[in-house]
Amino acid sequence: MQDYNSIDTIGCWGPSNFDCEFFNSTGVTTIVNVYGPKSVTDKRRVWEELLKLKKGQDGKWIFLGDFNTVRTPGERFNSRFSHYSSSDFNTFIAEAGLHEHNLHGWKFTYLRDDGLKMSKLDRFLVCQKFVSSHPLSTNIALSCEHSDHCPILLKPFYVDFGPPSFRFLNSSLQYNDFDNIFDTAWNNFRGYGAPGRLLIEKLKYLKITLKSWRAMISQVENGVLMGLRKKVQALDIVAESRTLLDTKIITWREAKLKTQELKMVAKLDLQQRAK
């Protein structure tokens, strides 16, 4: 395809040599790696070219990559939703007869460096022939440890054991009073009934206690973070007119370091919640 926004590869999906030898058969699979442009007009042009490409070749189709757009407002967090881009993208998916499996693992696939904006930009789109031949396929988003985008896997099956009974933020372990809060809530619970039911109620009580404690901690940290940002901003303004004293430079560095630490905790919490 003559387009800088996509690369397509034609071959066979699976062990069948017959599909590889006859490219006009329905067994041929075309995999298109897409990188969506930024502007609405350029996106629309790419969707039109991809639609023409699909209509010109029979067989199974897989579109994958960073489409640089979302389908619904719920696929964005703390960022602006474009109705035009979404409408064009959904129209392309419908006219091309494509299907998207539910995404497991992470809810969002793109996380900005500051941890404040998240979007589901990366995905797999497959045709109905692929769904029919691989009905148990699923998409899994892995952790974005080495990039601001999550790697995504297209797997032939997925085993879902259901949601965890107790979601716990790992960052809570770094606070000195966590052990005391946990032990107090665990030991102070009083209940009656069958052992299984009693355990469920005890976990609920523990969850409510920890959630209330984290809400209080977050409120305090948000206040500290705002104060640190104001301090850094004030020193930045002073530095524009004169050289800062050594003590002020130390204060500026300490405030910047503490700000990064608090933002990192918030980023890790967002990543864990996005699962």
Q: What is the pLDDT of residues 151-200, one digit of tens each?
A: 899 987 755 555 555 667 777 888 888 889 999 999 988 877 777 778 88
CB 109 within 8 A of CB 150: yes
Checking if the pLDDT of 13 tops 50, the result is yes
CB 198 within 8 A of CB 192: yes
Domains in the chain: boundaries:
6-155, 170-273
How confident is the model over 93-108, as a mean pLDDT? 90
Q: How far is Cα of residue 215 from the mean position of the Cα atoms in its chain?
A: 23
Residue with tokens 């007869």: 97
Residue 27, Cβ density class (10 Å: 0-12 exposed, 13-18 middle, ≥19 buried): buried
Instruction: Quote the CATH superfamily of domain 6-155.
Output: Endonuclease/exonuclease/phosphatase (3.60.10.10)
Q: Which residues pair with 62 in a beta bridge?
A: 31, 126
Kindly indicate the confidence band of residue 23, based on its pLDDT and cuts at 50, 70 and 90.
Answer: very low
H or E stretch covering 87: helix 83-95
| Tokens encoding 26 | 């329905």
Average pLDDT over the chain, rounded to an integer: 81
State if pTM tops 0.85.
no
